[in-house]
Amino acid sequence: MTLAEILDSLFPDGHTVAVADGIVSGDGPFRGGRLAVIGVDGGTPLGIEGACRLSGLVLDVVRRGGGTPILVAVDSGSQRMSRRDELLGLNEYLAHLAKTLLLADAQGHATIGLVYGHSAAGAFIATALATRVLAGLPGANPTVMDLPSVARVTKLPLDRLEAMAKDTPVFAPGLDNMVQTGAVHAVLDPGQPLAPQIAALMDDRSDADIRDRLGAERGGRPVAGDIADRVMREAGLG
Amino acid sequence: MIDRLADPTSASWYEASARARIDGLLDAGGFREFVGPEQRRMSPHLPLFDLPRAFDDGMVVGEGILDGRPVLVAAQEGRFMGGAFGEVHGAKLVGLLRAARQRKPAAVLILFDTGGVRLQEANAGETAIAEVMRAIAEVRALGVPVIGLIGGRAGAYGGGGLIAGTCSRLAVSESGRISVSGPEVIETNRGAEEFDSRDRALVWRTMGGKHRRLTGGADAFADDTVAAFRAAALNLIGRAPAFDLATLEAEQARLEQRLARFGDCREATEIWSRLGVNDPAAVPATTASAFDALLSGLGETTHDAR
């Protein structure tokens, strides 16, 4: 689905969401209140200016209070790769954006991510992966790194990697693999109205971070939950 | 690997192993490791790639005493796969931070030494980084400082740079580098005209400890000794900001100001000059004590909400 189709499905009565320089902002009516929408559209790489705008928008919602939920819609590139971005501290801008979303969640603003296109690496961590519940739409393509780049770094032939990717979700790009890892909680049905599907995910959200549990159930991250639990037990807890 | 230090006062942090750093950082004899190497909880994925594994997957977590107070500590081993986040590696840190929520230690110390996500386990590593950041926010919200120490050979790159930016306070040495995309990644994607990764001086100026300290990306600059990092950690624990709206509003203002003031700079030396540094070209060669004296004359670095 395109962003316009998503917004039409979410807000049949209209909305104020607009895109400027690839950065999404606005809101629309939702369950008797408003749903704030932020995000990145058009495969735009996330640099210091974009991240700074998004974090400012999240803080505006938190400052106003009232528990307004926040949808983070993502079709981005990776973090913008440039000398200038790193010189000015891109890691701080991306971490700050993630922190504002984590703070919003802690202060009662449900945060829900929606990956409908591409996203990768630091941009993915700072946006979609910083929400409480992350949903995907069929056709979305979140990746950490594409297979040709993985081939370069690991010095393994691309055809072998492609064969391995078929039954090894832990390193292969794509939505299904992120679902199996537990990073993406659910895949939405684009044939049905999105608002009730988003609302149901918000209502079901857990206070705990259940991503490692999901990853074990789905087989994409077999040992992470067990290791974390064992650390807690040896610390005399759980 | 040397896991004990003959003399922490002079021993190099950069050269030390993860275990040796912990040994020299904490009070003597008090460290207890969780899920230690004797349990051989190794990566279930690396054999697929015919790669060797480590009994600790490059991550050491446990509890100890720092200046008489209980702390939880995690250290990455940069010599194993560049300290990269794989499934087990990341899950140990997630577990430690979850334990901190209940134990409420005097601090959690994270000894960074990482190139970011381990590509052979990319999805697990990426998700673990997101889990770590959420857990750090939760620990901080309970009033427990999370202190990052950065001075290892692998720096704090990729998702490691984002985790660093989530910590309450950071100490960094000359050789500590903090960044998202590394020099090689930028060069591969954008060409050597954008970033010549072999120009080490450029790498230090753009991502190194002094630049981060000067521009507010880190809170303390440490000599490359284990003793200096211990002193920095002790100092920072007492100055940790709360995790709340006021802190993040202040950080938003700090980052917006940086964009407005330095957004047109191409070179670190231009930024340092605008900060009021008289001889920017001399900064890379200054000693830690001279650098501290320089810092105390500049206002910018006291603006440190994070």
Domains (range + CATH), chain B: 18-243 (3.90.226.10)
What is the distance in angstroms between the Cα of B288 and the nearest Cα belonging to chain A? 21
Rounded to the nearest angstrom, the minimum Cα separation between A193 and chain B is: 29
pLDDT digits (tens, 9 = 90+) for B199-231: 999 999 999 999 999 999 999 999 999 999 999
For residue B84, pLDDT beyond 90? yes
- Written in H, E and C, the secondary structure of chain B is CCCCCCCCCCCCCCCCCHHHHHHHHCCCCCCEEECCHHHCCCCCCHHHHCCCCCCCCCEEEEEEEECCEEEEEEEECCCCHHHCECHHHHHHHHHHHHHHHHHCCCEEEEEECECCECHHHHHHHHHHHHHHHHHHHHHHHCCCCEEEEECCCCCECCHHHHHHCCCCEEEEECCCEECCCCHHHHHHHHCCCCCCCCCHHHHHHHHEHHHHHHHCCCCEEECCCHHHHHHHHHHHHCCCCCCCHHHHHHHHHHHHHHHHHHCCCCCHHHHHHHHCCCCHHHHHHCCHHHHHHHHHCCCHHHCCCC
Q: What's the pLDDT at B250?
A: 96
Contact A237 B102 (CB under 8 A): yes
Residue B6, pLDDT above cutoff 80: no
Please check whether residue B189 touches A, CB under 8 A: yes
- What percentage of chain A has pLDDT greater than the value 70? 100
CB crowding B12-32: b at 16 or more within 10 Å, else e? ebbebbbbbbbbbbbeeeebe
Look at the block and give the residue holding tokens 């670095």: B301
- To the question of pTM greater than 0.90 for the whole model, the response is yes
Quick check: B268 contacting A, CB < 8 Å? Answer: yes
Query: How many angstroms separate the CA of residue B12 from the nearest CA in chain A?
Result: 26
Q: Which of A81, A230, A232 is nearest residue B189 as measured by Cβ atoms?
A: A81
Residues forming beta bridges with residue A180, ordered by sequence position: none
**pLDDT at res. B302:** 55
More confident residue, B191 or A37: A37
A111: which DSSP letter? E
Please check whether residue B251 is in contact with residue B257, taking contact to mean a CB–CB distance below 8 angstroms. no
Round to whole Å and give the CA distance between B112 and B87. 17
Q: Is B158 on the interface with A (CB under 8 A)?
A: yes
Pick from B53, B180, B194 the residue to mutate for testing the A interface (most A CBs within 10 Å): B180
Q: What letter does residue A193 receive in the DSSP assignment?
A: -
Q: Are B221 and B291 in contact (CB under 8 A)?
A: yes
Q: What is the mean pLDDT of chain B?
A: 94
| Predicted pLDDT of residue B299 | 66
Contacts of B37 in chain A (CB under 8 A): none
Poorest-pLDDT segment among A159-168, B20-29, B74-83? A159-168
| pLDDT more than 70, % of chain B | 98
A92, B255: Cβ pair inside 8 Å? yes
| Angle in degrees, CA A68, A73, A78, rounded to 5 | 135
**Which structural domains are found in chain A, ordered by start?**
3-137+188-205 (3.90.226.10)
Residue to substitute from B126, B206, B272, interface A, most A β-carbons within 10 A = B126
pLDDT in tens, B108-136: 999 999 999 999 999 999 999 999 999 99
Considering only the beta carbons, identify the residue of A62, A94, A211 that sits closest to B245.
Answer: A62
User: Looking at per-residue confidence, does B302 or A188 come out higher?
Assistant: A188
CA B127, A120, A110, A94: dihedral to nearest 10 degrees?
90
Computed over its alpha carbons, how large is the radius of gyration of chain A?
A: 18
Chain A touched by B96 (CB under 8 Å): yes
CA A228 to chain centre: 22
Closest-CA distance of chain A to residue B226, Å: 25
Measured distance CA(A237)–CA(A230) in Å, rounded:
9
Question: In whole numbers, what is the pLDDT of chain A averaged over residues?
Answer: 95
Q: Is the pLDDT score of A220 beyond 60?
A: yes
- What average pLDDT does range A95-116 have in this prediction? 98
Of the partner residues A150, A222, A228, the one whose CB lies closest to the CB of residue B98: A228
Positive or negative, the CA dihedral B275, B281, B283, B286 is negative
- Summarised one tens digit per residue, pLDDT across range B162-177 is 999 999 999 999 989 9
The pair of structure tokens assigned to B122 is 């990319």
**B179 vs A154: CB contact, 8 Å cut-off?**
no
- Local confidence band at B1 (pLDDT 50, 70, 90 cut-offs): very low
Report the pLDDT value the prediction gives residue A37, as an integer from 0 to 100. Answer: 98
Would you place residue B288 in the very low, low, confident or very high pLDDT band (cuts 50, 70, 90)?
confident
- Six-digit token pair at A214? 């999901």
DSSP helix/strand/coil, A85: helix
- Count chain A–chain B contacts defined by CB atoms under 8 A: 272
pLDDT of residue B300: 58
Residues whose CB is less than 8 angstroms from the CB of residue A42 and which lie 6 or more positions away in sequence, other chains included = A19, A22, A75
Chain A residues close to B207, C-beta within 8 Å: 86
Q: Which residue from A173, A182, A128, A131 is spatially nearest to A150, judged by alpha carbons?
A: A173
Give the B window 272-301 contacts with A, CB below 8 Å.
Answer: none
Q: Cβ B99–A212 below 8 Å, yes or no? A: no
Structure tokens, B195: 């970033």
Instruction: Give the pLDDT confidence score for residue A156 in this predicted structure.
Output: 85
Tell me the nearest-neighbour CA distance from B10 into chain A, angstroms. Answer: 31
**CB spacing of B131 vs A234 below 8 angstroms:** no
Q: Do B117 and A144 touch (CB under 8 A)?
A: yes
Name B266's Cβ contacts closer than 8 Å, sequence gap at least 6.
Answer: A83, A84, A87
Residue B100: which of B130, B134, B125 has the closest Cα? B134
Percent of chain A residues topping a pLDDT of 90: 86
pLDDT value at position A87?
A: 98
When scoring A80, A86, A109, A177 by the number of chain B Cβ atoms within 10 A, the one with the most, hence best to mutate, is A86
Give the tens place of pLDDT for each residue, A132-167.
999 999 999 998 877 877 787 778 888 988 888 888
Q: Is A41's pLDDT higher than 90?
A: yes
* Identity at A217, one-letter amino acid code: E
Q: Under 8 Å CB-to-CB from B85, ≥6 apart: which residues? A: B114, B116, B117, B118, B121, B125, B126, B128, B129, B159, B160
8 Å CB contact of B162 and A107: no
